[in-house]
Amino acid sequence: MKNNIKRRKTRVINVGDVLVGYNNTISVQSMTNTNTKDSFATISQIEKIADAGADLVRVSCPDRESTKSLKTIVKNSPVPIIADIHFHYKRAIEAADAGAACLRINPGNIGSLERIKEVINAAKNNNCSMRIGVNAGSLERRILDKYREPNADAMVESALFHSQILNENDFHNFKISVKASDVFLTIDAYKKLAEKTDAPFHIGITEAGGLRAGTVKSSTGLGYLLLNGIGDTIRVSLSADPVEEVRVAFDLLKALDIRNRGVKVISCPSCSRQQFDVISTVSEIEKRLSHINQSLTVSIIGCVVNGPGEAKTADIGLTGGGKNTHQVYISGVANHRLKDKDIVEHIVDLVEKYIADINENTNTCNEEKQLIA
């Protein structure tokens, strides 16, 4: 069943060659955790993040040495680079001059109006977009004095105040984020902000935690927002390898049938009816197929209770049977039985052959179209 999510209608901006906003693909991003001054290590990590599927990568630029390295990093990056600027406006100017596709600034920390105007001019001159990044933990003093505490209204006021500055300076190539570590505060802020602006949103639950807890927390908040059509770029913020952030983001988008990339494995939790070790089998299959970009569904079910039904909706399916004999399905149809063989190797081989056949058919169709043209 396809989703019927109605995307929030926003204006469209560009982050390098990536279009962000209404009717465009929801972009996935992550952030490097290397020392930016080490351009070799940073580029290496960016390549791994991009290989996992990220469309955008953010790089922290806390000092002059980092922005000096940024030019080399941008030149060698396979995806557009977002420069993360927190305290010094000159770092933003240097990053724009170095070729950053976007500047992420935290309004509570960037400085005076005149400094913000200088950053705007640098962005204009370099065809660089911006993200107004409002965080509950770093709101401006005047906002905190007014509201007494970080809340949704305070975050929205901060975002709109700085949006107005950009708009008044004829700069419209920007997106906004209003993130908090609290799921409910984040949701409330985005919902209220969505009623007041047509700017695209970058969404995330900031400082969500480690891999397991952070995944659950982010999926809860981001899932709600996405189901309500809110979100144009996303980041799952985890205290983990940035590649894991990208994987979780795509798993979330796949679960909502928003963006399907890679193999979706449907598997049972296992019970005493299982005819093989489901947990270890699924774990190994996911690892072996993690390099695949094409959208594909594989069902691995331990017994015949739900196995045949799940297999009928999968590209490749396996249902556990008695006496170490299991039924294999191709494109939803029972194809052959697997007996006394390595399940993992067999399924991996089938998936790779299935994809090879798809690619061959696609190439043939393209050649035929060229001949007709």
- Chunked into runs of 10 residues, the chain (373 residues) has average pLDDT values of 86 97 96 97 98 96 95 98 91 97 81 86 96 90 92 96 92 96 97 98 96 96 97 97 96 93 92 93 93 91 93 94 92 91 93 87 59 57
Domains recognised in the chain with CATH numbers: 13-255 (3.20.20.20), 263-365 (3.30.413.10)
Query: Quick one: pLDDT at residue 371?
Result: 55
Query: Quick one: pLDDT at residue 114?
Result: 86
SS (H, E, C) the chain: CCCCCCCCCCCCEEECCEEECCCCCCEEEEECCCCCCCHHHHHHHHHHHHHCCCCEEEEECCCHHHHHHHHHHHHHCCCCEEEEECCCHHHHHHHHHCCCCEEEECHHHHCCHHHHHHHHHHHHHCCCEEEEEEEHHHCCHHHHHHHCCCCHHHHHHHHHHHHHHHHHCCCCCEEEEEECCCHHHHHHHHHHHHCCCCCCEEECCCCCCCHHHHHHHHHHHHHHHHHCCCCCEECCCCCCCHHHHHHHHHHHHHHCCCCCCCEEEEECCCCCCCCCCHHHHHHHHHHHCCCCCCCEEEEEECCCCCHHHHHCCCCEEEECCHHHEEEEEECCEEEEEEECCCHHHHHHHHHHHHHHHHHHHHHHHHHHHHHHC
Query: Quick one: pLDDT at residue 360?
Result: 77
Query: Quick one: pLDDT at residue 291?
Result: 87
